[in-house]
Amino acid sequence: MQTGQDIEDLRILLVDDDPRTLRLLSFLLEAIGVSETYTAGDGYEALSYLDNVPDRPDVILTDLNMPGLDGVEFLRHLSMRSIASRIVLISGENKRILDTAKTLAQVHDLSFIGTLQKPITQKALSEILRQCLAFGAQIRRRNSGPITEQELVDGLINRDGEPLRTVYQPTVSMKTGAPIGVEALVRWTHAKSGVLGPMSFIPLAERLGHTKFLTDVVTRRVMSEAAFWRSNGLDLRVSINLSVTVLKCLDLPEFVVATAESTGLDPSKLTLEITESHLMRDFKESLETLARLRLKGVWLSIDDFGTGYSSMEQLKRVPFNEVKIDRCFVTGAAQDVETRAILESSIELGQRLGLVVVAEGVESREDWDLLESLGCDVAQGYFISRPLEAEALPGWVRSWNTAGLPSA
Ligand code: C2E
Ligand code: CA
Ligand code: CA
């Protein structure tokens, strides 16, 4: 959004499963003078639009109650893609649900502007768009589009993943305070845009069917860096994030285990993290690969727990070792009664299922103290450490072991 912009210049994405609401909103926007309006009938369609346009819309008007990807999940996906478009929720829901969605949008660091109550009037719509404009021009900075298909294919396949880098975020035991592992997080070094986070290119790699290349590069790199820490005397568990689409590759278990063993890593010290909501969507196809990975000793973790449609029956059937509670239920949980309730029951459920419970997004001493009192096993987050370069890890572990937990 440029400074000096008027309401008419706004580019707006409308997301609603009700065609009548989409038609009404398009009509009202036209009456207000807005000419660039895009519509999506559900969250998946909206994400695919956002992943494929070079310039994100200025404003996203989204329904909360949609089949498929619901509004709350959609907000999380927007956050993962660092989307800075201003967000307005449309809803006929009661105030309590809207308040919760608003809290989630804020926890996810989205530019939340307000809500538009049904029935929608032209006056209310103009007013909220004016608030969007007033929000300031600083947002565009974060809102550049993802890398192009050509750049992705070139970097990932022709150059064997050369633009990819992995950073490592430590996890520590809440019982002993000792460092126990690291999670590998991938980055893309882009010639023009600098270092890009995973959400700038992973959704594109998934859509183009290139996640096997990504997994191969990341796995090989992580294993060789893990060999470097071991040579420095560090025996850390290593976690890698997997795109669920890669679970369709039947040779994945052999590849992962062979790579681990060739670098001297015991497969039982390797954890693969899979996002819960994605897993449940492609459950049947994933189950065989997951079972074979477990048979080979690799650990499995349910990532972003609490944000998807987890079916208890399916959770029971997958031989998971670990559950990672999504950071939107962890960061600042002590200050919010409802978030805290979800956190408490997620920890209890994980432990009842016999899983190691990891909390991600631990940002303060308060978050840590609450998790400790709730009996959480493992913590990860900025309070402990930001993601680090591989070479920085041995030094971090030494200073953590000397200084221990930060005081604030
Ligand atoms: P995730 O697995 O949930 O990873 C945690 C994300 O939260 C990371 O962002 C991390 O930098 C960030 N984070 C860690 N501690 C804190 C904290 O205390 N506060 C806050 N606000 N954030 C924190 P990142 O690196 O941008 O990764 C985003 C997502 O990208 C990951 O979410 C994961 O789903 C995906 N991803 C990362 N690496 C890979 C990969 O190699 N393959 C695949 N398929 N996905 C990956
Ligand atoms: Ca993860
Ligand atoms: Ca996560």
pLDDT at 280 (0 to 100):
63
pLDDT at 125 (0 to 100):
94
Give the pLDDT band (50/70/90) at residue 3: very low
Q: Is residue 126 part of a domain?
A: yes
Q: Is residue 2 part of a domain?
A: no
Residues 255, 127 share a domain: no
206 CA: nearest ligand 1 atom: 44
Which segments within 161-233 are labelled E, that is strand?
164-173, 179-190, 194-196
198 CB within 6 A, ligand 1? yes
Determine the distance separating the centroid of ligand 3 and the alpha carbon of 273, expressed in angstroms: 8
Residues 189, 105 share a domain: no
Q: How many CA atoms lie within 13 A of 192 on its CB side?
A: 6
142-152 tens-digit pLDDT: 445 568 889 99
Encoded tokens for 263: 């670098």
What is the mean predicted confidence (pLDDT) over 231-260? 93
Q: Is residue 136 part of a domain?
A: yes
Residues 76, 204 share a domain: no
Q: What's the structural domain count of the chain? A: 2
Q: Could you say which ligand is closest to the alpha carbon of residue 384?
A: 1
CATH number of the structural domain spanning residue 276: 3.20.20.450
Residues 130, 195 share a domain: no
Q: Indicate if the pLDDT at residue 408 is higher than 70.
A: no
What is the mean predicted confidence (pLDDT) over 354-362? 96
What DSSP designation does 269 have?
Answer: G
Determine the distance separating the centroid of ligand 3 and the alpha carbon of 321, expressed in angstroms: 15
Highest-confidence segment of 3-12, 303-312, 350-359: 350-359
285-319 tens-digit pLDDT: 788 899 999 999 999 999 888 766 555 666 777 88
Tell which residue, 89, 97, 93, 23, has the closest CA to residue 60: 89
Residues 184, 46 share a domain: no
What is the mean predicted confidence (pLDDT) over 60-86? 84
Which has more confidence, 9 or 321? 321
Q: Is 383 helix (H, G, I), strand (E, B) or coil?
A: coil
Whether the model clears a pTM of 0.85, i.e. scores above it, the answer is no
Give the pLDDT band (50/70/90) at residue 64: confident
Per cent of the chain over pLDDT 90 is: 57
Q: Is residue 198 part of a domain?
A: yes
283 CB within 6 A, ligand 1? no
Determine the distance separating the centroid of ligand 2 and the alpha carbon of 280, expressed in angstroms: 16
235-245 tens-digit pLDDT: 999 999 998 88
Q: Indicate if the pLDDT at residue 2 is higher than 60.
A: no
Residues 172, 209 share a domain: yes
pLDDT at 127 (0 to 100):
93
Give the pLDDT band (50/70/90) at residue 388: very high
383 CA: nearest ligand 1 atom: 18
Q: What is the mean pLDDT of the chain?
A: 87
| CB burial string 82-114: b at 16+ within 10 A, e below | bbbbbbbbbbebeeeebebbbbbbebbebbbbb
pLDDT at 275 (0 to 100):
83
Residues 120, 267 share a domain: no
pLDDT at 193 (0 to 100):
77
246 CA: nearest ligand 1 atom: 44
pLDDT at 145 (0 to 100):
57
Residues 205, 89 share a domain: no
Q: What CA–CA distance (Å, rounded) separates 177 from 170?
A: 12
81-110 tens-digit pLDDT: 878 889 999 877 666 677 777 777 777 778
Encoded tokens for 354: 């016999």
What is the mean predicted confidence (pLDDT) over 151-157? 92
Q: What CA–CA distance (Å, rounded) separates 27 from 273?
A: 44
pLDDT at 397 (0 to 100):
96
Residue 381 makes CB contacts below 8 A (sequence gap 6+) with 327, 330, 331, 359, 360, 361, 362, 363, 367
387 CB within 6 A, ligand 1? yes
Give the pLDDT band (50/70/90) at residue 279: low
Q: Is residue 408 part of a domain?
A: no
167 CB within 6 A, ligand 1? no
Least confident range from 120-134, 281-295, 345-359: namely 281-295
Q: Is residue 1 part of a domain?
A: no
Residues 186, 129 share a domain: no
Domain that holds residue 30: 7-143
Q: Indicate if the pLDDT at residue 180 is higher than 70.
A: yes
pLDDT at 99 (0 to 100):
74
What is the mean predicted confidence (pLDDT) over 252-273? 95
